[in-house]
């Protein structure tokens, strides 16, 4: 996408406006997307040359949010965002269709069996350009193929993949209308939507990897909330696309997951991140009493039906434990990925949440920090900044060393979260939303 943004937005000074920055970031984000919708998580880090269902779905959300802002500013930018999002969605639904047999096999298996744990009975979390297993020739002649994970309990078995694809499609249809989906995508959705719902219902109680492909022996709040919203999104899509579902009582199933989420993982009003064992249907397990920054997506995207006060208390716990007075948060306490750091995409996700809840001062501080520190020389954003004072500098897999001592750069998810945060802030300040005092964290 080539757009003379300064001219179209009638910017006469030398300093780039936020709308310009958004437009240029959008233009760069589209570069992550191949002709068939395959969306590389990063254009600079070879391990991230795959499409993650999660990252690509978040990219669709960023494209849709940005298109809505530019619809009345520069329609060519809005149209390009819509076209790119449509392409990504077609790739994701093609990939789900490619793995339909995997999902259907899981439906006939006992969730407690070893066979159920194997990747061949699930969708892989990431995909190659053909929509199947990711394969790559890495540096120094190293070959990698995710298909080697097929026969065991794999970190690539995540249960947010189908829900996020459905949620992203709901967002797209809500923003642009059902007719904006191409006919091929609609046909793919129709062919797998019932199986997708059944798969979500089948898997939500069983352990899998979390949002960061870790702790795959646990049940995670993030995955549970993603699933309940994914089921509701599937019902929305069926209604908008005129699909008669075979699955009955869909809304009730989503409510059951929300109830299970609260009963299982809420203690003293705080929604904690995971539990290691369910220990039987009638015994409430003890949660891992820590919070995880991915829980911000529970409240900003998934929005389960939880009791009053849980969201507020959980947000305060995340701010206290993970921000600790900093502008950007940790993923979770003890994170040592690339020796540990503070994550741009998560800080920006909080900024979006803050704007939507009237805390525009908090949101602006995060957005401006990212712009000033990382967007002066371009619009490629890193995954994180390696400034975690709590880090033990323990990097057993030598990620940082293998990447030349730098964190992963040009992360499409970070760039998408910048767009989402900026769009939410733009809406808030242009609707005369009240700006609260600049308070990022309540100190103990």
Q: What is the DSSP letter of 120?
A: G
Q: The pTM is what?
A: 0.92
- Mean predicted lDDT score pLDDT of the chain: 89
Residue 366 tokens read as 């995060």
pLDDT of 371 above 90: yes
Q: Which of 5-14, 65-74, 182-191, 302-311 has the lowest mean pLDDT?
A: 5-14
- pLDDT tens digit string along 385-412? 986 555 566 676 777 777 877 889 999 9
- pLDDT tens digit string along 287-338? 889 999 999 999 999 999 999 999 999 999 999 999 989 999 999 998 888 8
Nearest of 438, 348, 421, 427 to residue 384 by alpha carbon: 348
| Distance in angstroms (rounded) separating the CA atoms of residues 33 and 63 | 12
CATH 1.10.3470 is right for the domain spanning 5-310: no
Return the residue matching tokens 């390696």. 386
In this prediction, residue 397 carries a pLDDT of 74
In this prediction, residue 386 carries a pLDDT of 82
- pLDDT tens digit string along 176-224? 999 999 999 999 999 999 999 999 999 999 999 999 999 888 999 999 9
- pLDDT tens digit string along 128-169? 999 999 998 776 667 889 988 888 889 999 999 999 999 999
- pLDDT tens digit string along 16-32? 799 999 999 999 999 99
| Mean pLDDT to the nearest integer, 75-88 | 97
Q: Within 10 A of 202 (CB to CB), how many other CB atoms are there? A: 17
pLDDT of 66 above 50: yes
């Amino acid at each position: 996408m080539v757009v003379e943004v300064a001219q179209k937005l009638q910017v006469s000074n030398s300093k780039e406006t936020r709308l310009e920055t958004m437009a240029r970031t959008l233009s760069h984000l589209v570069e992550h997307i191949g002709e068939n919708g395959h969306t590389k998580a990063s254009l600079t880090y070879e391990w991230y040359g795959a499409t993650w269902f999660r990252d690509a779905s978040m990219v669709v959300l960023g494209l849709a949010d940005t298109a809505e802002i530019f619809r009345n500013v520069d329609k060519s930018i809005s149209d390009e965002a819509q076209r790119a999002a449509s392409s990504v969605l077609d790739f994701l639904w093609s990939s789900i269709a490619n793995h339909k047999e995997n999902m259907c096999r899981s439906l006939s298996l006992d969730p407690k069996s070893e066979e159920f744990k194997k990747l061949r009975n699930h969708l892989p979390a990431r995909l190659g350009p053909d929509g199947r297993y990711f394969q790559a020739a890495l540096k120094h002649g190293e070959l990698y193929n995710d298909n080697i994970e097929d026969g065991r309990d794999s970190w690539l078995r995540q249960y947010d993949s189908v829900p996020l694809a459905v949620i992203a499609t709901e967002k797209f249809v809500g923003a642009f209308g059902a007719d904006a989906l191409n006919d091929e995508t609609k046909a793919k959705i129709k062919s797998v939507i019932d199986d997708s719902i059944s798969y979500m219902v089948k898997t939500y109680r069983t352990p899998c990897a979390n949002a960061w492909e870790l702790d795959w022996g646990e049940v995670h709040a993030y995955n549970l909330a993603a699933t309940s919203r994914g089921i509701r999104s599937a019902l929305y899509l069926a209604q908008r696309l005129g699909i008669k579902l075979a699955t009955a009582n869909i809304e009730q199933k989503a409510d059951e997951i929300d109830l299970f989420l609260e009963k299982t993982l809420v203690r003293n009003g705080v929604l904690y991140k995971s539990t290691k064992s369910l220990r039987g249907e009638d015994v409430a397990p003890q949660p891992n009493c820590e919070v995880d920054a991915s829980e911000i997506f529970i409240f900003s995207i998934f929005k389960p039906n939880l009791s009053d006060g849980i969201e507020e208390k959980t947000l305060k716990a995340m701010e206290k434990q993970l921000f600790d007075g900093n502008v950007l948060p940790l993923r979770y306490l003890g994170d040592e990925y690339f020796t540990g750091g503070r994550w741009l995409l998560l800080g920006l996700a909080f900024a979006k949440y803050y704007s939507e809840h009237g805390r525009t001062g908090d949101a602006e501080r995060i957005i401006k920090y990212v712009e000033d520190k990382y967007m002066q020389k371009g619009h490629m954003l890193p995954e994180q900044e390696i400034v975690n004072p709590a880090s033990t500098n323990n990097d057993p897999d030598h990620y940082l060393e293998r990447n030349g001592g730098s964190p992963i750069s040009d992360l499409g998810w970070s760039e998408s979260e910048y767009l989402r945060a900026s769009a939410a802030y733009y809406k808030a300040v242009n609707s005369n939303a009240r700006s609260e005092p600049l308070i990022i964290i309540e100190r103990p």
